[in-house]
């Protein structure tokens, strides 16, 4: 089974971000060398979902409590800079406040808005956060056909979602 390995520094930064943004979805990316954890970094992004929803709630029916949107040009510039330095976009990260970690239909569509994934080599990481407490983290990688769940190395022991936790009405 494929494994996504994250440094302790990156895990701490991700957890800090999703706790700080709760009850909204936090988001960002993990960059670094294609192999090993030395040099990994978590880069947070503002979640634009509230602004987009306020500007056009028909085109953007979800706000930041149930969606995330990273600025696409800022993301592409970061990816270009990282790749120019010989490194990679290792993961796209977002949280699910008050919901389990799962790759929803909305998450899949955001990762592949034009058919194939925009960043097929980057894992999709979803962090479950209940009452500002990180409860679970899961990751998926594109196998050329679909997203397959992969193990994550470097995480602390987590309690998992509370009993009765349910996805947001879609899977």
Per-residue pLDDT of the chain (171 residues; tens, 9 = 90+): 589 999 999 999 999 999 999 999 999 999 999 988 999 999 999 999 999 999 999 999 999 999 999 999 999 999 999 999 999 999 999 999 999 999 999 999 999 999 999 999 999 999 999 999 999 999 999 999 999 999 999 999 999 999 999 998 754
**Does an H or E element contain 38, and which?**
none
Two structure tokens written together for 126: 């979803």
pTM of the model as a whole: 0.96
What pLDDT is attached to residue 93?
98
**How many residues belong to the chain?**
171
Asked if residue 139 lies in contact with residue 122, where contact means CB atoms within 8 angstroms, the answer is no
Q: Residue 41: is the preceding peptide bond cis (ω within 30°)?
A: no
Residue written as token pair 């409590």: 65
Pairing between β-strand 88-97 and β-strand 41-45 as defined by DSSP bridges: unpaired
Architecture of the domain made up of 3-153: 3-Layer(aba) Sandwich (3.40)
> Cα dihedral sign for 10, 2, 79, 104?
negative
Residue 60 CA: distances (Å) to CA of 55, 57, 118, 145: 8, 5, 20, 28
């Amino acid at each position: 089974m494929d494994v996504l390995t994250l440094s302790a520094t990156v895990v701490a930064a991700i957890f800090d971000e999703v706790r700080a943004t709760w009850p909204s979805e936090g988001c960002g990316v993990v960059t670094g060398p294609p192999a090993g954890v030395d040099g990994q970094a978590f880069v947070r992004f503002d979640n634009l979902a509230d602004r987009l929803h306020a500007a056009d709630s028909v085109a953007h029916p979800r706000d930041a409590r149930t969606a995330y949107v990273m600025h696409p040009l800022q993301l592409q510039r970061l990816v270009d800079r990282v790749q120019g330095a010989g490194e990679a976009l290792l993961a796209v990260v977002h949280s699910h406040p008050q919901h389990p970690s799962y790759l929803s239909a909305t998450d899949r569509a955001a990762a592949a808005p034009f058919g194939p994934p925009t960043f097929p080599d980057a894992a999709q990481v979803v962090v479950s956060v209940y009452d500002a407490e990180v409860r679970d983290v899961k990751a998926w990688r594109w196998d050329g056909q679909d997203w397959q769940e992969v193990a994550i190395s470097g995480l602390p022991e987590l309690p998992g979602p509370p009993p009765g936790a349910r996805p947001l009405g879609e899977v």
